[in-house]
Amino acid sequence: MGDRSMVEQAWDALEKTIIFFKGKPVGTVAALDPDIPALNYDQCFIRDFVSSALLFLIKGRPDIVRNFLEETLKLQPKTGQLECLKPSRGLMPASFKIASIIGGEYLKPDFGDHAIGRVAPADACLWWIILLRAYVISTDDRALAHRSDFQEGIRLILELCLVTRFDMYPMVLVPDGASMIDRRMGLYGHPLDIQSLFYAALRASLELLIPNQENQMIIHAVNNRLDPLLKQLQENYWIDPDRLNVIYRFQVEEYGEEALNQFNIYSDSIPFYRLAKWLPEAGGYLAGNLGPSQLDCRFFAIGNLMAIISSLANEYQSHRILNLIELRWNDLVGHMPMKLCYPALEDADWRTVTGADPKNRPWSYHNGGSWPVLLWMLTVAARKMNRAELAHHAIAIAERRLLHDHWPEYYDGPDGRLIGKEARKFQTWTIAGYLLAKELLANPHHLNLITFDTEWC
């Protein structure tokens, strides 16, 4: 009974977040906290809406998702390739709001040009493709994805991501703060969270693009990218006890094609003793970032969970990631599923890497805080690998607190016991993430909306 009423109350709270444009539902606001100024939390964020959208699809309410996809597509810039002061062609906004003009209303996007720190989202366009695929799987409405404006939208996103820049890696190159972690956190370059989404979006786009003359080049480019991307991530981002031993004894300053230590990682840059103690024999995970002389050994939840969901991690690796979560439960889940990244940056690292950001002080917010929205991703990853008990356990922990605490945006502390210092209450993706996790566990056939098999066409 208690459980039913928690679900009912969550639905009541979620319904209130829906926003309407010209009379049609188009999305959900980020939060409805009555006690804190809204800032931009009264906007619909693309990444935040994904949890609500998947839930609406499962619950037979595809209209709102369709409206969202159509309206956000109209916000995507289609021209202006070489202009630095305008959002790039193909970019999707981080968020949008409904604004009024005399005689009507319009959608006002934020591409990062209004956001704190002026950070542009790289994840929004990737989530958009992933959500479009989920919509098509759920409704069988291929016609929407096959419409010429949708095909163009997908092509423009891919062109933006696949463009050759200065580097010659298969990963996509992004600035710091270009994802859910939208503040400086040492994530410039090739952060895992973005690479996992990138891989899933590439896989999704192969399912969505019509194999015609117009798409031929881009389909070819996607196919060319997938293999090296997979190889790079599975091999060079992977950390487990065996791999730690290899990295520990790496030669450095190797020149030429045969170099084993391609990125010239110096052993002293890696906290071996702490890691060797922390990493269980049966565990493993994908590193947070990789670049010249840089292997960021922090654990990032979105990247690792999405790697399992998208089959970017192979079966062996997927189980090892889940083993790590299980065996280091107190660190990664604790009193609220789950940590966005682990461990937190402290002291001098916090000052230099975050720019002494007080909102991201150690064990708070993005820097080692716990985010209940991750519950649905943990549930999908665990259920996909037939380890539903992990999801049951995590949901039970969340259920003890979320309703009572009024659905906070995040929790603080090394064990996730404190409600986030500046966390919004009635945060929409906390509510939707909980409902979605419950729904996916009860009806696992819906996992196919978001998971990918190992093989692609």
For residue 183, the minimal CB distance to ligand GLC (Å) is: 7
Q: Which stretch binds ligand GLC (CB under 6 A): 45-53, 287-295, 310-318, 385-393?
A: 45-53
Please give the structure tokens belonging to residue 311.
Answer: 């089959």
Residue 189: phi, psi to the nearest 5? 100, -110
User: Residue 398: exposed, middle, or buried by beta-carbon count in 10 A (0-12, 13-18, 19+)?
Assistant: buried
If the CB atoms of residues 41 and 169 are measured against ligand GLC, the closer one turns out to be: 41
Stretch 5-44: interaction string toward ligand GLC, x if CB under 6 A: -------------------------x----------x---
Residue 118: phi, psi to the nearest 5? 55, 45
Task: Indicate the pairing of strand 285-291 with strand 411-412.
Answer: unpaired
Stretch 181-200: interaction string toward ligand GLC, x if CB under 6 A: -x------------------
Q: Would you say how long the chain is, in residues? A: 457
For residue 121, the minimal CB distance to ligand GLC (Å) is: 8
Q: Does 48 bind ligand GLC (CB under 6 A)?
A: yes
Number of residues that bind ligand GLC (CB under 6 A): 7
Q: Which of 196, 400, 204 is nearest to 301 (CA)?
A: 196
Whole-number Å distance between alpha carbons of 289 and 296: 5
For residue 119, the minimal CB distance to ligand GLC (Å) is: 9
If the CB atoms of residues 45 and 237 are measured against ligand GLC, the closer one turns out to be: 45
Q: Does 287 bind ligand GLC (CB under 6 A)?
A: no
The single-letter code of the amino acid at 193 is D
Q: Which of 378, 369, 433 is nearest to 402 (CA)?
A: 433
Please give the structure tokens belonging to residue 77.
Answer: 């810039």
Q: Does 47 bind ligand GLC (CB under 6 A)?
A: yes
Report how many helices (DSSP H) and strands (DSSP E) the chain contains, helices first.
17, 11
For residue 41, the minimal CB distance to ligand GLC (Å) is: 6
For residue 18, the minimal CB distance to ligand GLC (Å) is: 16
Q: What angle do CA 130, 307, 165 make, to 5 degrees?
A: 70
For residue 244, the minimal CB distance to ligand GLC (Å) is: 31
Task: List contacts with ligand GLC (CB under 6 A).
Answer: 30, 41, 45, 47-48, 180, 182
